[in-house]
Structures are given as C-alpha cells and as structure tokens.
Chain A
Amino acid sequence: MIYVDNITKEFKKTIKQPGLLGSFKSLFNPKTEKIKAVDGISFHVPKGEILGFIGPNGAGKSTVIKMLTGILTPSSGTCSIDGRIPQKDRKNYVREIGVVFGQRTQLWWDLPLTETYAVLKEIYEVEDSAYKRKMELLNEVLDLQDFIKSPVRTLSLGQRMRADIAASLLHSPKVLFLDEPTIGLDVVVKDNIRRAIAQINAEEKTTVILTTHDLSDIELLADRIVMIDKGRNVFDGTVGELKQNYGQMRELNFELQRAEDKALLDYGKHFGLGEDDLKVISDGVNVTVRFNSELVPVGDMLSYTLSQVHLSDISVKDADIEEIIRRLYKKEVRIDA
C-alpha cells in the first residue's frame, strides 16, 4: 500500500553570524550548510494497518509525513501510495489521503463548522448520499453535533481536533495521516479520538500513519511501530517485538521493615551484574531494583531478596513501553537494527 524507499530530505540552512552586523554580512555573503533532516528512511505499510511513527523531537517525523503527503519534495528516494507518487500526480494522490496536523487546522476559522464540511464536500467532489452517510458516521464516532453550528474560532482544542479529524475523513481516504492528533488534549477527548480512529480503521479499512509523543496512543492503537532518530530508521516491528527485544529490564519494588537491612543486600556481587544490567535506588525503607531479566530470572531475584531481608511489601513491574522508548531515545540500549 504505502512504500517508502530510502527517502532523504536536505535543507539548506543559512549560518547567521550573531548581531546586527552579522545579519548584514550574511545578507550579502550568505554561508549555507546542508542539513540532512531525513537520511535514508524506508518502510512499508500494508493496507488497513495502523502504524505508529515515533521518534524524539527533531528526529524528522514531520518531514517524512510532509513528504508522504506531497507537501515537501524529497531530495532523493521515493514514496508511493498504491503506486502513485505525490510529486508526479499530486491531485489524484491527495484524493486518496486525509491529513491532520495537530498543531494546525484546515477548518475555515471564521465560519460555522458545517460550512467547512460543505466546502470540503465540493473540493473532494463527494456525492450527496455518500456525504450524508459519512457525516452521520463521523457525528456518531466523534460527537460533533454539540458544536457543529458554532464558528470554528469558538471551539475548544478538543472540539477543534475532533472537527479536524472529521474533515480529513469526509472523502473516505484510503490513508489517514495523523500528526500528533492528541497533543494538548484531556484524557476524555484523547479516549474519544482513539476510539474513533480504531473504529474508522476497523470499518473502512483505512490505513493510518500516526505520529505521537503519547505512547498510550501507540499501545492502544498501533499494530506496528517505526521509530526514527536523527533522520534514520531505528526500529521497525510490532509493540510485542519491541518489548521482547528491548524489554529485558524489569523492576523490583519493595519496602523494608528496617531501613538498615539495606546493607545486607548486594545484588551486584551476588549475581555478578555490571552497571549496565543493574540499578539500585533506595529512599529510606523503599528500594527499587532495575535488572536485566535475561541474565537473572525474576524468581532468583525474588528468592535472594526474601532470603536476605524482611519485607512489608513487594511488587514486580513488567517491561513498560514508555521506559523502553525513553531508554532508546537516550541511547541506553544499543540498537542492532
């Protein structure tokens, strides 16, 4: 369905010297350098899949999305949807896609929401009957009826985001691009939007590419993750594979009956674990032990702890996707992708 093949994007950046004098200098003798925002990214998304496209700020996510939506022209490499290339056949290409940029709106700011939908209907040449059916469905999944008659400028962020998502789906696109659709929203609205995305995906087989910094979006929606950093692919696989590959670090939390018992525990020496595989944090009677469960099974960890000290409480935490991704972003985990 969507093929991205070794795509790159370079931006020319003028190096400004500081101060007013420097600005004048760079006006007449500009020094430019080339910045590779995207440096050879490839992935493939089959029809009907929800792909979580993630990476730290400045990784090049938006640049890739903008190339895929035909806004930017790639410096090299190709992307295509159903064999269509956005830069060659823009008009037919964009008919197949819906785009939501969370930080921008495509709604007519000064007019009631219904007006935007009426114009989009004409722009995308949606048939009357199809339009009516679609509006009913979108109304139902996104709860638009409360504010559909209000001018867009009076909508809250949550309402505006729902309205924008509806606007992007009006023409039944085959692919929906969502760039940070839950940014700045409260839990209830986030939940509503996630359910809507899941429902549209299930009912219409719409392929979804989703970028977000909210990893719950990814856990709840994404079939697969593509992670990029500094313009390159870092990981491509399912959430399960991510946990399997990078989720060996487990966390043991317990509360000691007597704080001074801490001296009795020496995990490093007992199991022979190095710094990379073990981290012990303690605060009074509360102790947190992060360890590599591939080297030391959870059971061994538990029995050693219980044999050494008396506890009033204990819990073991599973590999948390958020923790894994935090570690990937901070390069704590080596990547062999």
Chain B
Amino acid sequence: MNLSEDVLKGVEALSDEKNISDNAFKNIVDCCFKVILKQKTESDLFEDKSAISGIDIIVLKQTYSAFIAFILELMKVNSDQATISDLLEDHKLSNNRIQFILNYFKEYRVAIRKALSITNFHFPHIIDINWRLDYFLKSNSLEKLNTPVYIVSLTTEQEEDQKGKVEFACTLDQLQDLVFKLRDAQKQIERSSIKS
C-alpha cells in the first residue's frame, strides 16, 4: 500500500466528530465513492451548503481529495475489509464511522475495480460486427463478374462513447481464411484455461 502522509492526515480528519458532523461525514463519504463511479461530481458536495455546514472549506477539500486517494489506493491493491477496518481504526475513527465506510466498500468494491480496470489506454476495442453479403454482377468496366462479396464492418470503441469503424470487403475465400484464424484464436483461450 502506498499512502502518503497527506492522505492519511486527510483521512484522520474524518475522525474529528466535532468539526465534521455525522451528516456531513456521510455526505463526504457518499460523494467520494460516487465521484469515482462517475455518478456524482465534486461540485455536488461543495455546492450543497446544508450538507457540509460548519466545515472549513480548506479542511473539506483536503479531506475530500485524501479520501478519494485512499479509496483508489485500497481498491488498487484490493485490500480486504479487515485491513481497511484496521487502517481506519489506526487513524482514530469511531466504530460507527468505520462501519459506515466499510459498508460502502462492500457495496462498491466490484464496481470501483471495474471502473479502474477500464481507466487505461488501449487499442480500439472491437465491440460489434456487422456484415453484408452482396452478389457482385458487373461494373462499368467489367461484366459477368458474378461473385459473392462480403462487406464487413467492425465497430470499435476507444474510450467510452468514442466509437470508430473499420470496414473492409472480402471474397468467400478471404472470409473463410478470416473465420479460420478467428476460430483458432478462440480455441487458444480454451486450451490455455484447461492447462492452468
């Protein structure tokens, strides 16, 4: 685990029940988890004055960023509930608050790790395929061609909602070749999983 002192200090601030009321505490924790899952934005927390009343804005920002870093790091190494609990206890959080945070971890662990796994760069990812079968009869320069031609369109995704397309044509033989190679690739993963 790689948590800096600033992060730990920020987390420790959450234990301060005098300055951070239970209600505000819940709001902060809730917002942090949901920001990571892109269900909320930072401003939802900072602009809702009633939710965070009485907290110094600088302390709030420190706590917020520290807690986000805290969640990300724990989820990166996939710490178990007991480790998280111990860690929070070390930083003087009350049992109630620890339990509250642990519940969030329990609920969102899978979702956060999923979000983290796609927070990465990659080559265009094929997510769908479309094909069309044409029967090519003639063109302006050639008659009596009469061959089937496939047009294949691959839909790719680079980032979320950033779709791309790869289009190409193939003859029957070429498609046969392509399918053969894809089938081989598909079998490979079965072979690998049997071995391991």
A and B pair up: no
Show the binding face of A for B, using Cβ within 8 Å.
Answer: none
Show the binding face of B for A, using Cβ within 8 Å.
Answer: none
